[in-house]
Structure 1
Amino acid sequence: MAPARGPGGKEVYVHEIDRTPEYNEFIQKLTTFHEKRGTSFEPEPRLPTMHGHVNVDLFKLYKVVLEKGGYDELNKVQKAWGALAGELGMYYADNKGMGQLSFQLKQDFYRYLAAYWIHDQHGRDPPPKEILEMQSCASKHGPVLTRTMENFKLSARRAGEETPTRDERPAESTPTSANRASGRLREAPPQRVPFQPDTAPSRQARNVSSHHNTPNSNATQNNFHGNQAQQNHHHLPQQHNPNNPLHVIQAQQAALRGASSSFTPPNSEIASRLGDAVEPRPPISVPLRPVNTPGNNPLEFAKRQRLLKNQAAGFGNIQALTRPVQTPAGGEGPNIYTRCLQALRSGIPAEQAFALNHLVKISYERGDKYKFDSFLGLAEGLIEKALEVGSLFYDIDWQISYSGDQDSSNPGLLDGLDGTSDILERIENLTPKAVLDHLQPADFSNRLLRITEAVLTMRNMVMLIENAVYMAEVCPLKDVLCIVLHLPDLETLVEIKHFALDIAEQVTPWLLLDSSDPLYRTLLAQLDSTDRGTILTALRAISRISMNLDATNKLQNVPVIVLQNIINWLLLNDEELMDACLDFLYQYTAVVANVESLLAAVNMENVVPHLVRLLAHGAKRVKEEKVLEPEKKALCTEEVPPLPFDLHEKLRNTDEPTRCFQWLKILFEEDAESHITQIAIWQAYQGSFGAHAGVRSNLSAADFIRNVSHVFANARAQIIRGPGEVQRFIIEGIRARTAPSHYETREEYTRCQWQMVKGALPKRCNQFFLGGEQMWHHVLTAHLGVPIGENGKIENKEVTTSCDWADCVKYPTPKALKLAELTRHIKTHVPAAQKRPQQDGTELAAKRQRKSYITPAKTMMLTWAETVITSDERKPNVEQQAAGIPLSAVLVLRNIARNVVKTESEEELLKQHETGGESGGWNERLFRPVMTRLFEVMTENKALASYITSLLQLVQTED
């Protein structure tokens, strides 16, 4: 976390939790310790600071308090906890906020770490939780390290005394001006008690004192004797001590009551000893455990009824039922979860409104931990509340019966054990009420709002897999979904219907629904809707039936209109709807009987080409350059290529040092990893011009070496030690070109590779020419002896010759050819015209020039179509796999190709072929027109290649 501003305006460290392995181990120990101790524990308590709420690092707090000497030693220092909060990075600008912060920090240590500190650092058993964690740290009960039950009771009694003791009472002669001078409030004067002499006899019978004590004096005496018995564990005669605070209090109380003949001094010799051994019985905490009854937990009894039926049928034994979670003893009452559950099951409208309002919030905020199995009766309460929607729109009161006996005379009684099989027929026979869509009474709106909140709570909770599995076993849920989805078509009910569809989408993967199931028929009926959201959710719910079970979902008895709608929706430019339709078709076409129904309902010859088009849905053209051979760097040699003839003619009449500069640019280039000896480059320069007549050079070797550094900025003359410790004078940073380059245009010359002499030691022409045209003219005139006319035309006559270009195998031996045919072949050896680099007058053009000593890599550009792909986290080494609409489309095509040949329509089509009809079966008719496209997609799309290969294997048949 970044530093923040503290009270002084400086950047300070803000407290945060360091989740190190030591921290995790410490928190685990604390959790185990508090579980054994039976106290509540919060691993990351929150504290308000000037920078916002922070979570306390209990490990840091524990270590810092140990460094300060422990909890008791830290409490002896004033404002020590405030300074400790500052050390931990907790700040407040004002004293009030800092005081609250330090108190809460002290309270966190006292509640979560004090008992562990005593056990961990001192090896002692901490005091009971009744006198430690269940008490506030602000109570003056003494140090926690030496706190026991006896001194805790004594300190608690002293803290509750209202009358000060004789030692604590200020002297009467103390002037009050000093108090006023110090700024404190004036203390109250001591209470004046009028003297009343005791007129009772000096000795009285024991039975009188024991039977006529006043309640106050008797309670005080018993309390005193009880404390003495706990401390000494035996009874001794009590001696009267006038300085004892308890005796002073009793004397003052007796004086206030006046003279009494029944008052007996507590330490009198004639006092009764019958009450000495009597101690009040401590309160007994009785842990309460809820008992499962059909009223508060009908789900458990429904399970038992089903298990008993299965056992009677021989399908297994009764499984042990889970034991409900017990509320820990000493709690402060039910938490918000239990409070909402009890309010929901109470049936009181106000309580249910409170419960549903909070249940919606809890299901949103704590949906990852809020589970049905932890709160018995919650699912049933929400279902019962949702069933109240029937009375709003119909004259019926839906009730759930867990007896297992169906009462056909009562249409509103639902079967809670196995579900109501004729729920749809009952709904059809209901008479709807006259309800206005946009105008309802307040009571109607409130009731509908509570019902919607109950359905919304179930919808939020089933998003958790554990809750979805739990609700799949609650049979009345399917009846609720059927009832809600068959409500009148009103805009007021759109929201609750969508919630019901969301519940069905999450629950159907754990349900086995046949074609006659009311929920299955209800979901199919939703596909005739015009609401896109309804269609999407219903398609997903149907496609996921039994997805997580071993049984397969056959999706039978789908209406023809539904199949036609699904095919039409595939034509829309709606990816989400298209994906849902393809998922449904994948499940539907997996059954042979369904493929037969699909052939009868729609025109499959139009459907298959569209599915093939979807194989490229969202495809992108991807280009990738593959390296066939990597680039190569030629070895550095001392051999300098000869100067081309045309450049030699230009440079021979050029003055020095310009001629030297241009010669270097033609035959050399920079290379930081290469070098050439000074004698070799000087001899090459002399060989280019010194042997020809008429060429004069007044340039010395030293000036020539200096000119090299002027032409090439990175070249420098050096002396190195060669083999045998012989000195070598070199120029580092340059190397000879493999082919000369024009000093103005920077175009490279091309070497003529025509073999002058063939054999084991062939000799080549090796002359350099600029451009392909000069090379072509050179080969024609010099090597083939073909003259070129004045207008550049050549006579197309027949010649007998061979192509002696190096490594050419086209015409190895002389052959009679037309000159035009021969020249067309020779032009294949001549390089094409090069694109001249831009002349911008800077060194940028030289940097762009390709290095002649580097042979470029041979590459090949590959282009293909790439659709949506994904990676499998469980298999990181596997290449990315196909996903999305293209994958769903190819899977549907593969199901059609596999199952269409097993239908009765296939047999009828083959019989028509025998009587003279079109040859081939359904695969021939459906896939033959798109075969070319399938091969194309298989070639270009690597992710779909394996799927299309399996599809082609099903489609292609042996002749």
Structure 2
Amino acid sequence: MAPPEAWHTVDHSPEYEDFIAKLTEFHTKRGTSFDPTPKLGVRQIDLLKLYKYIVAHGGYDAVSDEKLAWRKSCEELGLMTNNPPAAAFQLKTHYYRYLAAYEIKTVHNKEPPPPEILEHTTAKGSGLLTRTLENYAPNRRETGFRDSDNDEGTPLRDRPAEDTPGSSARASRGLRQDPPQRVIYTPETSSSRQPRHTSGQHPTVSLHNSPRHSQSHSQGPQQHAVHANQYPSARGGASHSYIPPNPEFQNSAIMNYDWQRPVPLPVRPVKTPATDPNAFAEERRVARLRTAGKSAADLMQRRDPLRSDKMFEGPNIYLRCIQSLLSRVPAEQAFALHHLVKISFERGDKFRFEQFPKLVEGLVDKGLEVGQLFYEVDWTITYDSEQDDGPIGELDGNNGTSDIIERIEQLAPKSVVDGIMPADFSDRLGMITEAVLTIRNMVMLLDNAAFIADYPVLSDLLCIILHLPKLEMVVELKHFALDIAEQITPYLVLQSDDPLFRTLLGQLLDNSDDRGTILTALRAVGRSSMNLSETNQLGDVPLEVLQKVKNWLLLNDDELMDACLDFLYQYTAVVPNLESLIKASSLDDLVTHLVRLLSHGAKREQREIIVEPERRVKGPDDPLPVPADLLQRLLAMPEPERCHTWVRCFFEEDPEGQVTQISIWQGYNSAFLEHLKKEGKQMIQAAEFIRSISQVYTNAAARIKRELTPQGETSKFIIDGIRPRIRPINEQGLEYYPCLWARKHRGPGDSPMAKCLAWLPSASQMWKHIIVEHLGETLDPVTNAVKDKTDKFICYWHNCGKYNKPTEMSLFFFSSHIKLHAMQAFVRSQVETTPTPGGSLTSKRSSRAQVTPARTITIKSEETLALPADPRNPNGPHTAGGIPLSAALVLRNIARNVVKTEAQEELLKEEPEDGGWNERLFRAQRTRLHEIMAENKLLAPHVASLLQTINDSSA
């Protein structure tokens, strides 16, 4: 079994989109509903993967006939859930509804059954290929009626079978029967009509008496009421749904009677001393007061508000928790905080600060009590704007405390042992943690975060918590504070001297080994004023923080890299910040790493595009002339060996090729007839010659081809499966190559550059042929070399333009040039030809000679993280996202703003020819940036904008 996929995803490939389009068109023509992305649980199903898998395993019927095959399909497709049987049946149902008919039509080439017996029924069983309207019987669960032809058929009534000798055995294997339901008897008071079963009606009923009728009559009105509720009855009752066939048994009064269900009488409760004792007690009290002469005003004043029809319920749980929190009673606060944590976690989407006044103040006041546990201070809030010289523990409730960090540094710490806490200390710290946790849970709602961001004391509370001593007992509390800061900073404008901004930067320096602290602090700083119109300046960031951010980018941690890039994007958007970034670290290394991150998580693909399709090479119509050396060897062979060798040397196998029998016989005659006559030898007979061809090539067959011509039908004798070779070969399978030297002595009908076309078996023989035959030179018989002389020579080789004019040179040098032509002519032949032992030829060479390969180009592409352009339409167009997009935006900020810094002017003064910082930073990265722009379709617009910015600054 193949290993299961870790996660089933929908691949929106061109093949998938084309398949869904065809499937949609098929269901539209069929008139059935179609869902292109059905779900199994929470996962969408890739119908193309499912279709290919089921078809590969034999189709719907084959998979359904195999036991547990659909469950196995869920496992191998990565769709398994906690309930394997349900998942398997749901997957089978989706295939049954959307793909089964398509499989029958396209794979089995049959007409699928109509939708009434396929898509409109359940996916139980198999046998779809043989299902028809005549042989298909619907299940009773699907119809619910005994007679499917009648639209108003009688519903099936489930009743226990009669007791038989074998009924006890069946009862032991089946389920227990449901006992008859009991219905409270309601008398009919709206009609005075006599009962239906009168003496005049009994004869009619007795005529149709049966075990079924007798049983139903004996059950009484209770059982009749049960069945009337369970099954729909025809309008007008039984007299309209059943008409006796004999007119003498028909009664006009019954036939015309329109029965209606009796309307139950409304029942209202009556007040009695037993059912409502309070009302009667109130009446007696009022009667006593009136007897005593009291007025109506006295009666209202003396009325007890707690004594009414409804008892006083008191405030709801929200008000109880708020009032308990503000009471400063430890037990009440513990009750309130316990419930507030639970409410804020479970009902955080509807629990809003603006609906409950004093809730924010109560939670912040409780959080400020943390100072009493670790310092000699009692933090209080004052709203007196004129008081400036208050005690160190007073916090400004109007504008926030600007010197809160300096005050914390002046506090005297208490002696606290980490891990050893008294009971009172532990209880107080637990309630403070619950108060901060409640704030943290509530600010996850954006409306709550925007509301509480306007409360300045909250920033003071966060600074106090984050400056607590480094103890394990407060780690959780600090993380809650950082979570709150992350949610509220988008609604705050943090200046460089803001205490909260300085505190968050301090967390990056002091807690550089805590990943959670670094992530949350970076997000809080990088997202400040994100939801406001004012720009986040991020000024005066310590150089140590910038160096740490650069180092964290090198880690293999996607979340940390994403947070660092968000921070750098906000930081590099301000021109003065780039001055600090240049001083903090080597900006060249940062740019190099950011360019590397443009391909983070990229998937590289290569695909070939056919520019020119492959085409068959048209061979010669007639056999080629026999080379002189090969002719001598063939004449020395007896028949039929000579015939076999000639066919093998001048013809090759081609499934689509054919030659006429007359042309191949004439070619053989022209090659050997005159020579054999001179030697007094006999030629092979034509019939035997034709038969011998199939002995050389088993796929060659002689046949008669009939063609229609203007003169009428003609017969053409041909041989299928072979065709003439482009270049002849010798007995060992080595190709001959023609001499492309232009003949010096041409015939009257030859062109000015008519070629020699003499077939030579090797490069050395071709070189000798040109030297002797065309140049008219003689070779040394001992050394086989040319004479050493100087003359003017012209190269007449085909398409040679080096010596196309008379050039004075030595014959030895010119012969080397000719040898180069000869070697090049045979290089391709020697590489492509692969002779096999025994003189047989390979079919590879034959197939390559018949087809010119297609001309293709290879296109490389890389795909990075893609996100939907519209989150509401996940199947719509996608855009770049993730770490590659963030890196591109940071690079664009650097290229745009680095030229506006003072460092740019200083660099131009020192090295005016270098082109400034952009040229220094991006000169070595231009090639890689152009590659990414060409290969990454989603990042191409952003990289193009970056390159345009670099070019504009250089210009």
TM-score (norm 2): 0.58
The alpha-carbon distance between structure 1 residues 399 and 288, as it changes in their structure 2 partners (threshold 3 A), is: farther
The correspondence of residues 117-156 of structure 1 with structure 2, limited to 5 A, is 150=265
Secondary structure of 1:535's aligned partner: helix
CA contact (8 A) 1:638 1:677 kept: no
What is the CA–CA distance in structure 2 between the aligned matches of 1:67 and 1:386, rounded to whole Å?
A: 75
Equivalent residue, structure 1, for 2:284: none
What is the CA–CA distance in structure 2 between the aligned matches of 1:428 and 1:772, rounded to whole Å?
A: 96
CA contact (8 A) 2:574 2:897 kept: yes
The correspondence of residues 880-891 of structure 1 with structure 2, limited to 5 A, is 891=889
Amino acid at match of 1:901: V
1:769 to 728, 744, 760: 760
What is the CA–CA distance in structure 2 between the aligned matches of 1:696 and 1:500, rounded to whole Å?
A: 112
Amino acid at match of 1:150: L
Task: Report the CA distance between 1:79 and its aligned residue.
Answer: 8.9
1:649 maps to 2:632: yes
Secondary structure of 1:494's aligned partner: helix
1:950 maps to 2:938: no
What is the CA–CA distance in structure 1 between the aligned matches of 2:363 and 2:94, rounded to whole Å?
A: 40
CA contact (8 A) 1:506 1:541 kept: yes
Task: Report the CA distance between 1:519 and its aligned residue.
Answer: 2.8
1:494 to 448, 459, 475: 475
The alpha-carbon distance between structure 1 residues 719 and 506, as it changes in their structure 2 partners (threshold 3 A), is: farther
Where in structure 2 are there 5+ consecutive unaligned residues?
1-39, 41-62, 69-84, 98-139, 162-171, 183-225, 236-259, 281-307
Task: Report the CA distance between 1:622 and its aligned residue.
Answer: 7.5
Equivalent residue, structure 2, for 1:131: none
CA contact (8 A) 1:677 1:728 kept: yes
CA contact (8 A) 1:611 1:893 kept: yes
Equivalent residue, structure 2, for 1:38: none
CA contact (8 A) 2:607 2:858 kept: yes
2:924 to 930, 933, 950: 933
The alpha-carbon distance between structure 1 residues 395 and 858, as it changes in their structure 2 partners (threshold 3 A), is: same
1:677 maps to 2:660: yes
Equivalent residue, structure 1, for 2:770: 779
Amino acid at match of 1:856: P
Equivalent residue, structure 1, for 2:742: 755
Equivalent residue, structure 2, for 1:811: 803
1:731 maps to 2:719: yes
1:852 to 849, 853, 861: 849
CA contact (8 A) 2:907 2:916 kept: no
The correspondence of residues 309-324 of structure 1 with structure 2, limited to 5 A, is none
Task: Report the CA distance between 1:441 and its aligned residue.
Answer: 4.0
1:837 maps to 2:812: no
Task: Report the CA distance between 1:604 and its aligned residue.
Answer: 4.6
Secondary structure of 1:756's aligned partner: coil
The alpha-carbon distance between structure 1 residues 520 and 710, as it changes in their structure 2 partners (threshold 3 A), is: farther
Secondary structure of 1:670's aligned partner: strand
Task: Report the CA distance between 1:589 and its aligned residue.
Answer: 2.1
CA contact (8 A) 1:872 1:878 kept: no
Equivalent residue, structure 1, for 2:864: 869
Equivalent residue, structure 2, for 1:136: none
Task: Report the CA distance between 1:409 and its aligned residue.
Answer: 4.8
2:696 to 711, 733, 745: 711
Task: Report the CA distance between 1:629 and its aligned residue.
Answer: 4.4
The correspondence of residues 195-344 of structure 1 with structure 2, limited to 5 A, is none
What is the CA–CA distance in structure 1 between the aligned matches of 2:601 and 2:275, rounded to whole Å?
A: 94
2:501 to 520, 527, 530: 520
What is the CA–CA distance in structure 1 between the aligned matches of 2:786 and 2:618, rounded to whole Å?
A: 42
1:900 to 876, 898, 901: 898
What is the CA–CA distance in structure 2 between the aligned matches of 1:796 and 1:625, rounded to whole Å?
A: 54
Task: Report the CA distance between 1:782 and its aligned residue.
Answer: 3.2
What is the CA–CA distance in structure 2 between the aligned matches of 1:402 and 1:77, rounded to whole Å?
A: 79
1:536 maps to 2:527: no
1:539-594: CA deviation from partner (whole Å, max 9, x where unpaired): 23322333454432221121233233334545667665455444433322221211
Secondary structure of 2:669's aligned partner: helix
The alpha-carbon distance between structure 1 residues 544 and 842, as it changes in their structure 2 partners (threshold 3 A), is: farther
Amino acid at match of 1:561: E
Secondary structure of 1:933's aligned partner: coil
Amino acid at match of 2:754: K
CA contact (8 A) 2:731 2:839 kept: no
| Residue correspondences, number | 689
CA contact (8 A) 1:617 1:867 kept: no
CA contact (8 A) 1:715 1:731 kept: yes
The correspondence of residues 322-471 of structure 1 with structure 2, limited to 5 A, is 347-349=332-334, 352-353=337-338, 356=341, 362=346, 389-394=370-375, 409=390, 423-441=404-422, 444-445=425-426, 448=429
Amino acid at match of 1:874: A
CA contact (8 A) 1:462 1:506 kept: yes
The alpha-carbon distance between structure 1 residues 683 and 396, as it changes in their structure 2 partners (threshold 3 A), is: farther
The alpha-carbon distance between structure 1 residues 403 and 786, as it changes in their structure 2 partners (threshold 3 A), is: farther
1:661 to 644, 648, 660: 644
What is the CA–CA distance in structure 1 between the aligned matches of 2:276 and 2:946, rounded to whole Å?
A: 99
Task: Report the CA distance between 1:852 and its aligned residue.
Answer: 1.0
Equivalent residue, structure 1, for 2:623: 640
Amino acid at match of 1:754: W
What is the CA–CA distance in structure 1 between the aligned matches of 2:431 and 2:730, rounded to whole Å?
A: 91
Amino acid at match of 2:947: T
2:571 to 588, 593, 597: 588
Task: Report the CA distance between 1:406 and its aligned residue.
Answer: 9.1
CA contact (8 A) 2:370 2:432 kept: yes
The alpha-carbon distance between structure 1 residues 874 and 359, as it changes in their structure 2 partners (threshold 3 A), is: closer
Task: Report the CA distance between 1:385 and its aligned residue.
Answer: 6.5
Secondary structure of 1:546's aligned partner: coil
Task: Report the CA distance between 1:601 and its aligned residue.
Answer: 4.1
The alpha-carbon distance between structure 1 residues 491 and 346, as it changes in their structure 2 partners (threshold 3 A), is: closer
What is the CA–CA distance in structure 2 between the aligned matches of 1:458 and 1:655, rounded to whole Å?
A: 107
1:920 maps to 2:912: yes
The alpha-carbon distance between structure 1 residues 417 and 844, as it changes in their structure 2 partners (threshold 3 A), is: farther
What is the CA–CA distance in structure 1 between the aligned matches of 2:160 and 2:409, rounded to whole Å?
A: 76
Secondary structure of 1:817's aligned partner: strand
Task: Report the CA distance between 1:94 and its aligned residue.
Answer: 8.4
1:700 maps to 2:685: yes
The alpha-carbon distance between structure 1 residues 831 and 67, as it changes in their structure 2 partners (threshold 3 A), is: same
CA contact (8 A) 1:370 1:461 kept: no
The alpha-carbon distance between structure 1 residues 816 and 678, as it changes in their structure 2 partners (threshold 3 A), is: same
TM-score (norm 1): 0.57
CA contact (8 A) 1:869 1:881 kept: no
Equivalent residue, structure 2, for 1:689: 672
What is the CA–CA distance in structure 1 between the aligned matches of 2:311 and 2:841, rounded to whole Å?
A: 93
Secondary structure of 2:924's aligned partner: helix
Task: Report the CA distance between 1:353 and its aligned residue.
Answer: 3.7
Where in structure 1 are there 5+ consecutive unaligned residues?
6-10, 23-59, 81-91, 104-113, 124-144, 158-212, 223-282, 299-338
